[in-house]
Every structure is written in structure tokens, then in C-alpha cells.
Structure 1
Amino acid sequence: MTEARQPGDDEAAFIAAARSNDAARFALITERYRRELQVHCYRMLANYDDAQDLTQETFLRVWHRRESFQGRAALRTWLYRIATNACLDFLDKRNDRTPVPAELPGAGWEVHYLQPYPDRMLPEDPQESVVARETIELAFIVAVQHLPARQRAVFILRDVLGWPAAQAAGALGLSVASVTSALQRARVTVRGQLPGRRLDWRGAATYELSDEERVVVKSYIDAHERNDLDGLMALLRADLRFTMLPEPGALVVTAEDAVDGWVSSGLFRRGYDDWRCIATTVNRMPAAALYLRGPGDREHRLFNIAVLHIVEGKIAELTGFDATGKPWLGLPATL
């Protein structure tokens, strides 16, 4: 299936702005694509800060190449092509965007550069495939990072955005046969990296937390604010997958290990026990923003973001992010 060769309204407006060198008009036309392009860059890079930077780099490249756009492809397709290649150039230069082995035996691979994605920055159109919940959740984002860069691009363009093989091949400068082969290998790798209960990443998009998820988040917050370690443990599945980023070697696979780690680190002990929490969502997942008030401090300060994947009323995956001094989510710095 090929795109119509006649420019539509967006393409005609873009061409007119490009020919007139009207930067303000050009920005107005391209800005509407910012959020979806940023999500695309985030899937490629798994890092919110990098995704912002590469989206801006995309717009700079688009401006410099504006006269080359003839409207033979949809403007959205052309923008995604430039964004994808900007990310590939970034990945070619940065060798720290490859997952590294976890230190714990059997723990798999870790993505230390992973950052959460604020739901407030997702595109507003709930029908957009770019915000389908199963393809923005952390488990999926981490699984995709295990693919080589160009294989990752093929997988995202084909299986997430639904591009035809020929269109993906044109965007990446590959043959259709190469794209087809890369996609087959990518699917095997991604399925191998996803937890067993998360093998189907093509599920329907869901945009509201379930009642069950809301109850568990509230219980998680209550346990923290009451310093109730037993109550917290009661919320965890025995086969919990727990990661605290960016600490190396932080992945554990049992609830008991997680609790032992919290105890050994002094969680809920004097000076580390005055918590206030806010329920929120990131990556279309339930989360809690944890604020800690230290000795002598008058305010509770943003300390950690706990992102929860909830299965049958229990926390199956808990990913914690050090949030001290981090403006990722637009949350207040203090309470």
C-alpha cells in the first residue's frame, strides 16, 4: 500500500511555509506533531531527557531540510523518518545506551538510563497508536532496548506504528527483505525479554486506571505514610520484579528480597520514616510520588517515583526512580 502522491492540507501548508522561509508559520505547522514524535524518540531511547533533546534535533533537521519536502509522502511520515534517523545517529555515537548485565545471577539485563514518561506529555488523542498502553509501559520500553538500534527502529515502525514494510524500508534506507528479516528477529528478542505474563504487547489501549489499581496504589501510599513494612509486603506478589534506578545491580525477583533490601537500607527507621505521597500515573501505569522529610527539615521533598504494575490485586513489578532534583514529571518539588 502506498501513500497518495497528491499533497494534503498539511503538506501544502508546510511546503508554502518552507518556500516563504516563514519560521513562525513553519513552527505552528510542525509543533502539533511534537508530542507524538517525542513518544517515538522515547521508545527508541528509553530516556525522557534524551527524547526531548532528539525531538528538538528533529525539528532543527526538518527546518534545514524543509525545501527537500515535495509532498510525495505524508508530512507525518516524513517527520517520523527524520526523527528515527536522528535517534539512530544518537545511538551510533553513544555506547552507553546498551543494556548491561545485572549483577544478580539470573536477573537478566538492566537499562540504567531508563526514565519514566509523564502522562501529561502524551498526545491527547486517545485513538493514536503512539499512546497505546501496552507499548508505552516500562516492561515494553525495556524489552525494546535489547534490540540493536536499527532492528529496534524496524520493530517500532512496523509493529508499533503499523507501517508497511516498504515504507519502513524507505525510511531506514534498507531493502524490504532486510526489514522483514529484522522484524522477525526483533519479535523473538522482545518476546524473550518480556516477563512471562506480559508476552502480548499488542493488547487494546487502556487509558483509565482500574478500580483495582486505584485501591492498590492507595494501600501502597497508606503503608508508606504509616511506616507499615508488613502492610507493604502484603501488597507484593511473591515473584515480584523490583528495580531501583539508577542503582547498579538493583534488580531482585522476590518480594522477600525486596523487603530485606528495604530493611537493610533503613527504610522506615527514624530519620527515614516521615513520608507523604501523591498518587499519579506515568507510562500509562499507576505510580506513587514519594516525599521524605529529613531530620530538621520543614518540608517533605520529592525522593522517589514508584511505578507499579498490578496483577490480580498485587504488585507484580515495582520500578523505582531516584527523583531528587529531577523535574521529569511536573510534580511539586516539596510538600
Structure 2
Amino acid sequence: MSATATADLISRAQSGDHDAFRALTAPHVRELQVHCYRMLGSLQDAEDALQDSLLTAWRGLDRFEGRASLRTWLYKITTNRCLNARRSAARRRAHEWDIPGVHPPDPTRLGEVVWLEPLPDALVAGGVDALPGPEAHYERVESISLAFVTALQLLPRRQLAVLILRDVLGFPAKETADMLDSSVESVTSALKRARASLDRQRLSNPDREPPPAPRSRSEQELLATFVRAYEAADLEAVVALLTDDVFISMPPMPYEYEGLDTVAEFCARIFRAGRRFELVPTRANGQPAFGTYLRTPDGTSNGVGLFVLTLAGDRISAMTRFEKGVLPWFALPRSLPARGGLPGSRP
């Protein structure tokens, strides 16, 4: 959009033209939604914060003087609305174990970020395409991975905002300071502490192989092998696909399991309980994912959750399980019709 066209829309919107405001903000809405998701770790909370931010922008548009770009002004409003949400929100409580007929093994630990939700790739594609500034530190896909978003939630509020604005979006220190009504020195200090905190969380394992390229042949072969093994409840085949430090989490349940033996026991208890599944592929947070459907005696399969996989080379290094309520976000059905053939067979 040309500067003249933008100026005309701003003038019309400041005069009360709702259509002009929507046209003005439309190019930025999706990336602002992803920004809210990074800040809050929950798609539902992100949508609430986004709508609150757009309402604030509409009401305050007469005070927009063009000293910064419209995009920067919108990011300032949205960031501060998210900070307010983090300050005031009563985070969702952890859920109790909800897998019938399965007694869970003792968890390695209890996770803190039980409000974490997945982000459909349909939103990622439109919300991460805007080119980050030259000072961005993280790759686009890395910046919305489940591991990264989880780590962000453990940062203090101001450090979180600074790290996203500087290292993810690449805003200069001066612009970041202006957005947060702070000083460059304070922003620089907060960024240093945030980076150190992420380093302590060891988000990246230097000995771990990088994941295969999304939708590449190697990724598809690994996923196909996983689907065959998991749907057949072939414990040995599933375990053969896992890294030694594999990790399972299940928000909003706090149970977390780490290490090959522990995760193998977890999977064994699921399979020994007689639970058999159909997996339907999708993608979340730039990662492969599957809607999980529990087979029933009449042959139908009911949706019970969503798996998001983290890959490392030709292995799986993490599995995150979400509740069935997220399935509609991925245009996945609540149930699957009965398949033909013998029980458990696939055409």
C-alpha cells in the first residue's frame, strides 16, 4: 500500500470510517495475532488480547501522529495489552489425569505452563511472513516452536516483551524502548537477562541433529513410520523412533516425562490398556501434528486429542499432547467413520 493510500485511510478512519480502519489494519492482523500468541502461549488468550488491542487502536486512532509507522504503533498497543493480560489473568489451572483406564507412571516432573495451546499452521503462514527487522535473532519457524513458546512463558513479563520485540521481530533498541515507555539501557539489560534465562533452559541441544525440512521426503518417511507403529500399538517400533532424551508433555495436565525408558513405559501403559488409535495429519507451530482418534467397538473413532511432534534427524525428540477441544482449530472432525476391513486394518 502506498504512503498516499495509507494516509488517506488514516484520515478517513480518524473521521470515524470503520471500513477504512479495517482496511488499514488488515495487513497486520495475522502477525499481531501470532505476536499475542507468543506473549501469552494460548490461542484463546491471544484472540482476546488481539480484539482488545484493535478496539484500543480504534478508540485511540485520533492520537496517532505518524511519528512511528502504523505497524510499530499497533505493536506498541498490542504488546502492552498482552503485558496487562499477563499481569491480571488467572491462568488456567492444571487438569487432573483424564485418560480412562490408564494408570500413569510417576512423572519426571510437573510442568508449569499448563495453559499452553497449539498454533495452527494456517495462522502461522499468515502471521510469520512479514519480514522481521535486521536485528532479529531467531529463525521464523523456531520463533513459534512449542519449545520456544513454552520457554517464553517462564520469563518475567518485561523480559518476555523485550526478547520478542528485539530478537524475534527485530525492532531496534530505541523503538523497543519507546514501545515499552522505557530507556534503551533498561531494554538492553532486560534483553541480556532474557537471553541468559533461555540459555539456562537449554532450548537447543548442540549434539542433537536438526529436524528434516518441513514436508520433505525424509520428514514424510519418518512420519509415515510413526503412524504405522503407533496405530498398530507396536511399542518396540515406536520406541525405536525416539531419541534418548525424548520428552512428553500434556497441557493442561502438568505431567511431563523425559528419557527413553520413562517415555517407553508411558507408551506401554497406553497400549496395554487396549487403546488403539487412528492418526490424522495436520501441522501446528511449524511442526508435524496429528489429530488422535480412539477406536471404538463399533468401528468409529472419536477424537481424543492432538499430538505435536518435535523431530531431530530421523528421530522424534518430543511429543506434546493437547486435549480434544483444539481439534476444530485445525478443521479436524470430532469423530471418524468406521473403516472397512478387519478391526484395526487400514485400506
Which residue number corresponds to residue 82 of structure 1? Answer: 77
Which residue number corresponds to residue 151 of structure 2? Answer: 143
> Does 2:300 correspond to 1:299?
yes
Matched residue type, 1:65? G
- Distance, in Å, in 1 between the alignment partners of 2:108 and 2:222 is 28
Select the residue among 10, 13, 18 that pairs with 1:15. 10
Which residue number corresponds to residue 227 of structure 2? Answer: 221
Gaps of 5+ in 1: 1-6
- Distance, in Å, in 2 between the alignment partners of 1:208 and 1:127 is 19
Select the residue among 19, 32, 42 that pairs with 1:37. 32
Rate the CA distance shift 1:68–1:329 in 2: closer, same or farther, 3 A: same
Rate the CA distance shift 1:325–1:172 in 2: closer, same or farther, 3 A: closer
Q: 1:312 offset after TM fit, Å? A: 2.0
Which residue number corresponds to residue 281 of structure 2? Answer: 279
Rate the CA distance shift 1:78–1:325 in 2: closer, same or farther, 3 A: closer
TM-score w.r.t. structure 2 length?
0.83
State the Cα RMSD in Å.
2.9
Select the residue among 261, 276, 280 that pairs with 2:266. 261
Cα deviations by residue, 1:158-189 (Å, 9 ceiling, x for unpaired): 11111111100110011111101000000000
Matched residue type, 1:277? L
Rate the CA distance shift 1:61–1:198 in 2: closer, same or farther, 3 A: farther
- Distance, in Å, in 1 between the alignment partners of 2:194 and 2:45 is 23
Which residue number corresponds to residue 86 of structure 2? Answer: 91
Gaps of 5+ in 2: 95-105, 133-137, 337-347
Aligned pairs (5 A) from 1:1-335:
8-9=3-4, 11-96=6-91, 107=109, 109-124=111-126, 126=129, 128-129=131-132, 132-197=140-205, 208-248=214-254, 250-264=255-269, 266-267=270-271, 269-270=273-274, 272-273=275-276, 275-296=277-298, 299-324=300-325, 326-335=327-336
- Distance, in Å, in 2 between the alignment partners of 1:15 and 1:232 is 56
Please say if residues 143 and 194 of structure 1, whose CA atoms lie closer than 8 Å, have aligned partners that are also in contact.
Answer: no
Rate the CA distance shift 1:237–1:131 in 2: closer, same or farther, 3 A: closer
Structure 2 residue matching 1:194: 3-state secondary structure: coil
Please say if residues 43 and 141 of structure 1, whose CA atoms lie closer than 8 Å, have aligned partners that are also in contact.
Answer: yes
Rate the CA distance shift 1:193–1:9 in 2: closer, same or farther, 3 A: farther
Rate the CA distance shift 1:83–1:285 in 2: closer, same or farther, 3 A: same
Cα deviations by residue, 1:74-106 (Å, 9 ceiling, x for unpaired): 11101111100110110110253899xxxx897
Please say if residues 88 and 149 of structure 1, whose CA atoms lie closer than 8 Å, have aligned partners that are also in contact.
Answer: yes
Q: 1:17 offset after TM fit, Å? A: 2.3
Which residue number corresponds to residue 4 of structure 1? Answer: none
Deviates more, 1:281-290 or 1:325-334: 325-334
Please say if residues 15 and 71 of structure 1, whose CA atoms lie closer than 8 Å, have aligned partners that are also in contact.
Answer: no
- Distance, in Å, in 1 between the alignment partners of 2:141 and 2:109 is 25
Structure 1 residue matching 2:335: 3-state secondary structure: coil
